[in-house]
Structure 1
Amino acid sequence: MSTIKLSEMTQSQRDRLAFVELRLRFLGEIRRQDLVARFGIQAAAATRDLGQYRELGPRNLDYDTKGKVYVRGEWFRPVFEFPAERVLTWLSQGFGDSEPLRLRPLMACEGSILRSNLDLEMLSVLTRAIHKKSAVEISYRALSSGLTTREIVPFALADSGLRWHVRAFDRRSGEFRDFVLGRLDDASILQGPVADHERPDQDIQWNRITELELVPHPANVQHPDTIEAEYNMDGGVLKVRARAAMAGYLLRRWNVDCTDDHSLKGGEYHLWLRNRQALYGVTNLVLAPGYGEPSKEW
C-alpha cells in the first residue's frame, strides 16, 4: 500500500505526476525524457517521479524493456480526477500548470456549453489509437442509422465550437468523416496494419486550407466599425485560414452569412463571407448559413 499522499506533495510534484498519468492514460506510454523535456528536471528526478507514481498507482504502468518506455498497465485505474474539458484542453493545447483541484474560481465565471455524455475511457482508446496510428472498432449512434458497429482509423480530434469530434477514415463508407465523441457507445483498439488510403495524408478535406474573408454584414450592421474593432479587422476584413473540413463548423458557430448577396436577415448575422468562391469543393457546407449551391461561374 502506498505511503505517499497527494496532499503532502508540493504543487510542482503533483504537476509532474498528473502529467505522467495523462501521458499513460491517453497516449499509452511515457518516457523519462518526456518529464525532462516538459519540466526541465534531471533524469534522476524523472526516475523518482515515475517511482512515486508507481506507489500511487501500482498497476497503472509497466516497463517495456524492449522499447525502453513505461506503458499503460492492463489494470490501469486513474489516480487523478480530471474533468473531460480539461483533458480535451490538454490534448488540443498542451499540458497546463497544476493538476485539477476543486478550488473556487478567482471570479464568477460561467459558460454556455451543453455538457455531453463523454466517457474518458472511450476517449483514451481513441487518443491511444491516434498516437499509435491504429484502427478502432466503435459502437456509434448516428442520426441516420442509429446504433451501428464500424471500424475507423482516427488521426485527429476536432473542436467544432459546440462539441468535440474525432476525424477518422470510416471503413464502412470508405470516406474520411467526423464522429461526435458524445455519440460513442463503445471503443476498442484493433490489431493489424492501416492501409495507405486510410492515412491522414489522403484526407483531402482535412489537408486543404482555405482562406475566408469575413467583413461586417452590409445590411444588418449599422456601425461596421464596431464589428471591425471587435474582431480586430485589418482594413475592414478579417482573414481566417481554416481546414476545409472545419470551415462549415466555423461559419455556423459565428453565424456568418454565406449568401452571395448578403441577404440573411437577423441580428445574429454580424458577419458576411465576402469571398464565397473560397468554399468551392468544401463538403460540409450544409452547416454554412445561407450557402446553398455555388454559382455557375465557379
Structure 2
Amino acid sequence: MHYDKSEKRYFTSAKFKPCLIEPDSDQYLSQLRAVADDGMRPEGIWLSNMPEADLMPIPHRRVEPSVLRMILGAIRGRKATEIVYQSMNPKRPDPEKRGISPHAFGHDGFRWHVRAFCHIEHKFKDFLLSRCLECKITGSAEATSDEDRLWQEFIDLRLKPNPRLSKAQQRVIASDYHMEDNELRLRVRKALLYYFNKRLRLDVAEALDRPQEAPIVVANRAAFEQALLCAQS
C-alpha cells in the first residue's frame, strides 16, 4: 500500500493482495446495494471511493406496525389472532374477519407473508402482511408449526442451464450461478416452493420461445412437480 499525503490515507498499489480477508464480490456488491438502496451508509459498510450506483425502484408494501407487533406477539406466545384481511379473491371483495394461528414469516422476494393455520379453511396458508388491516389476540393457537408439514419439509432441487441455450451460453449460466458439474443444488422449504417456481420462471421455461428468458431449468423435474402439486393442494 502507499500513503497519499494530500488525501492523508493509504491506497492499494498495483501489487496489493489482501492478507486478512478473501476477495468477495458478493460482499462488496451487497454493501454497494445497501448504500444505493436508501442513500445512507449503514454501520459496518467499509466501502470507499464508491462508483455511482442505483437500483431499479420496486414499490414497497406497507405493513401496519401495530399489526406486525400483534402478530409477533402471537407467534412468540403461541396465540391465535383475529385479523381483518383484504383478500384478492373475487368471492371476497370486502375486508373480512378471519381467525388464524400464526407461527412464522416468509418472504417471496417482494412481499412478506405470515404463515398461519386458517380457522375457516382448517389448513395452513400464507397471508400477505400488507393486507392484514387489523389484528388482535383471541386466545391459544389452534395449531403449531410442528403440524405444518409443508413448512417443516424441504425438497432438494437440482438446477441446470437451459439445454436449449448454446454450449457457450450454458457455460456462462453455470458460472453465473456458481454451479458445480453444471448443477446447482438448493434446499427449498415446500411452503415456499410456489414462490420459488414463479420467481425463477421455472413454470414457463419450456413454453417460452426464447430460452434466454428462462436460463435455468429443474434437473429433477418429476420430484419438483410432485412437491409443487402437494404444496398447492
**TM-score of the superposition, structure 2-length normalised?**
0.70
Query: CA offset at residue 111 of structure 1?
Result: 4.4
Residue pair 1:220, 1:269 contacting (<8 A) in 2 also? no
**Alignment match of 1:129 (pick from 48, 59, 74):** 74
1:190: which partner in 2? 138
Query: CA offset at residue 228 of structure 1?
Result: 0.5
Residue pair 1:255, 1:270 contacting (<8 A) in 2 also? no
Which one-letter code corresponds to 2:208 in the other structure?
A: L
Which one-letter code corresponds to 2:119 in the other structure?
A: R
**Alignment match of 2:188 (pick from 222, 239, 242):** 242
Alignment of 1:54-65 (within 5 A): none
Residue pair 2:150, 2:231 contacting (<8 A) in 1 also? no
Query: CA offset at residue 220 of structure 1?
Result: 4.1
Residue pair 2:155, 2:227 contacting (<8 A) in 1 also? no
Partner Cα distance (2:232, 2:57) in 1: 25
Secondary structure of the residue aligned to 2:196 is helix
Secondary structure of the residue aligned to 1:185 is strand
Partner Cα distance (1:258, 1:205) in 2: 23
- Flag the 1:229–1:129 CA change in 2: closer, same or farther, 3 A: same
Alignment of 1:194-273 (within 5 A): 194-195=141-142, 198-220=143-165, 223-257=169-203, 262-266=206-210, 267-273=212-218
Deviations 1:153-188 (A, max 9, x none): 001000001211000000011010000011111111
Alignment of 1:9-24 (within 5 A): none
Unmatched segments (≥5 aa) in structure 1: 1-100, 287-298
Partner Cα distance (1:285, 1:221) in 2: 34
Superposition RMSD on alpha carbons, in Å?
Answer: 2.4
Residue pair 1:256, 1:270 contacting (<8 A) in 2 also? no
Query: CA offset at residue 221 of structure 1?
Result: 5.4
Alignment of 1:1-298 (within 5 A): 103=40, 107=50, 108-144=53-89, 145-146=92-93, 147-191=95-139, 193-195=140-142, 198-220=143-165, 223-257=169-203, 262-266=206-210, 267-279=212-224, 280-282=226-228, 283-284=230-231
Unmatched segments (≥5 aa) in structure 2: 1-37
Identity of aligned residues (%): 29
Which one-letter code corresponds to 1:125 in the other structure?
A: M
- Flag the 1:221–1:273 CA change in 2: closer, same or farther, 3 A: farther
Query: CA offset at residue 269 of structure 1?
Result: 0.5
Partner Cα distance (1:248, 1:270) in 2: 19
Query: CA offset at residue 102 of structure 1?
Result: 8.2
Query: CA offset at residue 256 of structure 1?
Result: 2.2
Residue pair 1:163, 1:180 contacting (<8 A) in 2 also? yes
Partner Cα distance (1:143, 1:149) in 2: 14
Query: CA offset at residue 103 of structure 1?
Result: 3.7
Partner Cα distance (2:156, 2:202) in 1: 14
Which one-letter code corresponds to 2:202 in the other structure?
A: V
Partner Cα distance (1:116, 1:264) in 2: 30
